[in-house]
Amino acid sequence: MEIIETQNAFVEIGNIADSSLQSIVTNYQKIAVLVDENTKILLPKITPLLAPKHISIIEIKSGEQEKKLKTCELVWEQLITQNFNRNDLLINLGGGVITDLGGFVASTYKRGIDFINIPTSLLSMVDAAVGGKTGINFLNIKNNIGLFIEPKGVFCDHTMLVTLPKEELISGIGEVLKHGILFDQKYWNYCSNTPLSQWDWNYIIKKSIQLKNTIVNIDPFEQNERKKLNFGHTIGHAIESYFMNSPSQLLHGEAVAIGIICESYIAHIQHKIDAITLTEITSTILSIFKHQQLPTDHQQLIAIMLQDKKNETSEINFTLIEAIGKSSINHTATTDTIVDALTYYSSLN
């Protein structure tokens, strides 16, 4: 197993059967496993490691639309019904919705019980399950309610990705590309020049977690350097939120991919990157992600951006890149520039 030490816990990368999960769960009286209708098929990979403990399975519906307070109430109700107390454990077996919501549920239940994340999607392995962010969507605004709190451990087994639909795998690549653009040109070059069929998933998962973990260790509560990880997310989250309750929902990574292109355009307009870099980023993303149709009324997206939790004043806050591998925080852009960025993306079709 590859082991990465995080702020107050650790990430293990490799076959979960060889992990420390079995020894960790011996410290708890009862264990609940949170799954959805898709990830429950992976239960046989972990239940042998939890024996002889009594295991309660809590199942919720899948999808971003379930990351809401009502779903939290359902999970809290089951924990109460089954008499879970502060010496018990919640294991989150699933993608970003499961780990975000499960972490939030655990950290607020009886003022906090321990939880472990076992991510089953690329997105959750390289992003959502690590870094200590938990949360839910509220009033159709992405991750508007939540806490910073670390799981007791994260176990990433890339063999679980074989059950993932192709579009979900592609979604996770949005965060992978973000890490390369922000922090590591060599990593970006690997991702942009290597065909997806030849990607080394252990390398991808390990490298992305290492890059993110370096920043989180410096700034766990997103006061300064961790804000860099928001690159692509100011516009990306607005687009994701806009489509959240529509028939044409976008996956998180799909929306972030659009955000990366748009926010790279803003960096170009503000003379931080040249046209060659903008074109390289744009062409790489569009070679992986399908072009999406954005609303023609851009003001609807800007209204959502004004509610973004990263804003510190009445202005919209951005992380912008200065080169592949270099970025800086706390930039603003005029409404006209944001509209131009959205128009640039729309023109690429």
Q: How many CA atoms lie within 13 A of 275 on its CB side?
A: 1
Give the tens place of pLDDT for each residue, 312-347.
777 899 999 999 999 999 999 999 999 999 999 999
- What ranges in the chain are assigned the alpha helix state H? 21-25, 43-50, 69-81, 96-108, 122-123, 166-183, 185-193, 201-218, 233-242, 252-269, 275-288, 298-305, 335-347
Mean pLDDT over 70-87 rounds to 97
Predicted confidence at residue 150, as pLDDT, reads 93
- pLDDT score of 118 more than 80: yes
CATH topology of domain 2-163: Rossmann fold (3.40.50)
- pLDDT score of 156 more than 80: yes
CA dist 287 and 280 (Å) reads: 11
Mean pLDDT over 247-257 rounds to 92
Give the tens place of pLDDT for each residue, 194-229.
999 999 999 999 999 999 999 999 999 999 999 999
Single-letter amino acid, residue 143: N
Provide the CATH number for the domain formed by 167-347 in this structure.
1.20.1090.10
Mean pLDDT over 230-234 rounds to 96
Tokens of 169: 């795998």
Mean pLDDT, the chain, whole residue set: 94
Mean pLDDT over 86-111 rounds to 97
Mean pLDDT over 144-153 rounds to 94
- pLDDT score of 8 more than 80: no
Predicted confidence at residue 282, as pLDDT, reads 98
- pLDDT score of 72 more than 80: yes
Of 196, 150, 189, 149, whose CA–CA distance to 172 is shortest? Answer: 196
3-state secondary structure of 301: helix
Give the tens place of pLDDT for each residue, 101-111.
999 999 999 99
Predicted confidence at residue 349, as pLDDT, reads 82
265 vs 4, higher pLDDT? 265
CA 109 to chain CA centroid, Å, is: 23
Predicted confidence at residue 52, as pLDDT, reads 87
CA dist 124 and 72 (Å) reads: 19
Predicted confidence at residue 311, as pLDDT, reads 79
Q: What confidence category does residue 122 fall into, taking pLDDT thresholds of 50, 70 and 90?
A: very high
Mean pLDDT over 295-308 rounds to 91
CA dist 25 and 279 (Å) reads: 49
CA dist 204 and 194 (Å) reads: 12
Domain positions in the chain are 2-163, 167-347
Q: What confidence category does residue 268 fall into, taking pLDDT thresholds of 50, 70 and 90?
A: very high
Mean pLDDT over 244-258 rounds to 90
- pLDDT score of 193 more than 80: yes
Q: What confidence category does residue 247 fall into, taking pLDDT thresholds of 50, 70 and 90?
A: confident
